[in-house]
Amino acid sequence: MFKPKINFVKMSENAVIPKFAHASDAGMDLYATEACEIKTGEYKIVKTGLQMSMPFGYEAQIRSRSGLAAKAGVSVLNSPGTIDSDYRGEVGVILINHGQNTFKIEVGDRIAQMVINKLTKFEVKQLKFLDRTTRGEGGFGSTGVKKL
């Protein structure tokens, strides 16, 4: 089975090369290389000390860690963040604190997870009208969400 290679360069002694904790994991943890605090309602780019390259046709998605979100109210602001295959700068994670307390990050803390996806390119075509469907323009709760 073909396995695409993802290459990493450590820009810092504190950087940790991502790996899968379990064979069935979809994501690899990303670690902070700097200590910082994020106050309630504040967001910050947290450095990972890593540069990476992956084959053309793939992307890395940066996603929140469920434990940080559930326990501290901290998530990836632009979740999922996208790293394109031609980006060679340092991987940074934009974290936001929705919690009620200042969130402290220490060097080596797991701050996000990274999932690699294969991309599908589409032909883009402009039309005057779209085909009709049963659903039509129904959205945002049109399939049965209770109104408050």
Q: Residue 88: which CATH number?
A: 2.70.40.10
Would 133 be classed as within a structural domain? no
Would 127 be classed as within a structural domain? no
Grouping H, G, I as helix, E, B as strand and the rest as coil, residue 135 is coil
Would 125 be classed as within a structural domain? no
Would you state the pLDDT for residue 83?
A: 97
Residue 59 is part of which domain span? 7-118
The count of domains in the chain is: 1
* The token pair that represents 110 in the structure block: 């797991």
Q: Is the pLDDT of residue 24 over 90?
A: yes
Q: What is the pLDDT of residues 3-21, one digit of tens each?
A: 889 999 999 999 999 999 8
Would 16 be classed as within a structural domain? yes
Would 37 be classed as within a structural domain? yes
> 119 phi and psi, to 5 degrees?
-95, 150
Would 147 be classed as within a structural domain? no
Q: What is the pLDDT of residues 61-102, one digit of tens each?
A: 999 999 999 999 999 999 999 999 999 999 999 999 999 999
Q: Are 98 and 75 in contact, with CB atoms under 8 Å apart?
A: yes
> 11 phi and psi, to 5 degrees?
-90, -5
Would 59 be classed as within a structural domain? yes
The rounded distance, in Å, linking the Cα atoms of 85 and 56 is 6
Would 20 be classed as within a structural domain? yes
The rounded distance, in Å, linking the Cα atoms of 89 and 122 is 27
Q: What is the pLDDT of residues 121-148, one digit of tens each?
A: 999 999 999 998 887 787 776 666 665 5
